[in-house]
Amino acid sequence: MNRIIISVLFLVFTLSTLFASSADRQDVSTITNCIHDVFYKVDRAFLTDNGLKTDGTYLIDSDEANRLAALAQSAGYAEIYSEAGGSTGNSAVTLGNLGLGVILMGTLADDILAESYKASLEKNGINYRLAPPQESHLGSGICTIFISENDRGGFDRVMYTSLGVSGNFRLSQEDIEEAAKAKCFLAEGYSFNDKTPDTHQSVQSVADKAIENGNLVALTLSADFCVEYFATLIHAFIRDYASIIIGNESEAKILTHTEDALSAVKNLKAQGKSGAITCGSAGAYVYDETGIYFISCPDVDPSEVLDPTGAGDVFAAGLIYELLEGKSIIEAGQIAALCAGEVIKVYGGHTPASLTEIVRSEASASIRFARIED
C-alpha cells in the first residue's frame, strides 16, 4: 500500500512539474520603462487643425498628454487600443503568448494609468514587480499615438510620449535576485540614460547576478538616440554582460560606427556576440558563431498591414524564445520574422493570443534564408 501511495504521489508531482503554467516558471526577466500605449485613429484635419504632427516621435509632459486625450475625446475619437507598452514590455507579452514564464520590472505612479497597465499585464499572464516611483507627482508614463491616412493611400503614425515616473527607479536587492534567476535577462537601451543612474545601476546589478547564475543576458538597442547619447554605458554593458545584441540597421550602424548593416553585424560577431539586426521590410541579419545569415520577411498582404508599432520588440521576443528552446540562429530568425509579421496586422505592440498556434504551424519554414558568410 505504501508503495502505491508513494508511486501516486510521485506521478502527481511529475505531472504538476511537466504541466506547470508559465506563471510558475521564470524563463525571461526584463526591466522596462512602463509606458501605457493609447491609440486613436483620426482624420488628418484633426492633427493639422490642432497643430499636431502627422509622424515621428516626440517627448511631452503629463499636462500635454492629458490635453491630447481631451482633444481626441472632444472630437469624438475613441481609443482603439489601450495596453501596457514599453520596448521590452511588448517583448514580454509576446514571450508570454508563446508560453514562457516572464517577470517584468519597472515603476508606475499611483493613478488610473497604473491600474490599466497592471491589468493589461495580468490579462496577458505577465508577472511583475514594481519599484517605488522616485517622482510620483509626474504620474505614470503614457504614449499617445495618432494614426491618420496619408495621401499615398497608407497610414502615418505620430507618437507623443510622456515618460512620467517610468524612467527613474531603483530595484530592491530582493527584486534584483529574483530577476537574475531567469534563464535570460532582457535589457533595453532606454535604461542607460546617465541622468537616471539608479535605473542603470539596477540593470547592471541584475546582469551581474544573472551572469554569476550562469544565465543569458540580452540587449535590445531600442532607439537611435539611446545608442548615440548613452554610448559609453551601452558599450560597457555589451562588453561586460550582453551576449545577445538585437537592434535595427540604423541603431547598429551608430553603435559600431559602420556604414551598413552587414558591416555592423560583422563587427558584433567579431566581438563574440550573437543576435539580429533588422532591416525593415527587406528582412534581417542573424548571426552567431556558426555564421551570418539573412532572413527574408514573411509574405504579408499589404492590405493586412495596420501598424508597425512593436515590430522590433516582437522580433526580439521571437528570437529569444527560439534560442531558449535550443533552436539554431536560423530557426530563431525565421520565428522572429514570423512573429513580427503578425504584430503589424494589429494595432499596438501586442501579438494576438493565437501566436502560439501560428508559430507551431509550418509557416516559418516558408521564410527564406541565405548564408552570407561563416
Which tens digits make up the pLDDT trace of 208-233? 999 999 999 999 999 999 999 999 99
Mean pLDDT of 96-113: 96
User: Span 334-349, mean pLDDT?
Assistant: 94
**CA torsion through residues 264, 269, 270, 272, sign:** positive
Report the DSSP beta bridge partners of residue 40.
Answer: 146
Q: What is the pLDDT of residue 330?
A: 97
Is 179's pLDDT higher than 80?
Answer: yes
Residue 284: its pLDDT value, please? Answer: 98
Q: Is the pLDDT of residue 186 over 90?
A: yes
Residue 1 has pLDDT above 60, yes or no: no
Q: Is residue 17 part of a domain?
A: no
Structural contact between residues 64 and 161, judged by C-beta atoms closer than 8 angstroms: no
Q: Would you say residue 102 lies in a domain?
A: yes
Residue 80 lies in a domain: yes
- Residue 185, strand partner residues: 29, 217
Q: According to the model, what pLDDT value does residue 21 have?
A: 47
Task: Give start and end residues of each alpha helix (H) in 230-367.
Answer: 231-240, 249-256, 261-270, 311-324, 329-343, 355-360
Q: Do the domain assignments include residue 13? A: no
**147 membership: H or E segment, kind and range:** strand 141-149
How high is the pLDDT of residue 3? 46
Of 124-138, 178-192, 310-324, 355-369, the least confident: 355-369
Residue 356 is predicted with a pLDDT of 85
Domain count, the chain: 1
Position 269 in a domain: yes
* pLDDT score of 24: 59
Percent of all residues in the chain with a pLDDT value above 70, rounded to a whole number: 93
CATH of the domain at 236: 3.40.1190.20
Mean pLDDT of 23-30: 82
Rounded Cα gap, residues 30 and 229, in angstroms: 22
Mean pLDDT, residues 125-142 taken together: 95
- The CA distance from 135 to 36, in Å, is 17
- Give residue for cell 499596438: 348
Whether residue 104 is contained in a domain is answered as yes
Q: Are 293 and 262 in contact (CB under 8 A)?
A: no
Based on the number of CB atoms within 10 Å of its own CB, is 232 exposed (0-12), middle (13-18) or buried (19 or more)?
exposed
Coil/strand/helix, residue 172? coil
Over the chain, what is the mean pLDDT?
92
HSE, CB side, 13 Å, CA atoms: give it for residue 332: 25
d(CA 371, CA 295): 9
| pLDDT higher than threshold 50 for residue 83 | yes
At 120, is the pLDDT very low, low, confident or very high (cuts 50, 70, 90)?
Answer: very high
Percent of the chain residues topping a pLDDT of 90: 83
Stretch 244-265: mean pLDDT: 98
Whole-angstrom Cα distance, residue 351 to residue 345? 9
**pLDDT over 60 (residue 257):** yes
Q: What is the pLDDT of residue 82?
A: 96
Structural domain of 326: 23-373
Give CA separation, 348 vs 111, 144, 190, 223, in Å.
22, 11, 19, 18
- Is 1 a member of any domain? no
Domain assignment present for residue 16? The answer is no
**pTM exceeding the 0.85 threshold for the entire prediction:** yes
If you count them, how many residues does the chain have? 374
Pair 313, 302: CB distance under 8 Å: no
Q: What is the largest CA-CA distance in the chain?
A: 81
Average pLDDT over residues 139-148: 96
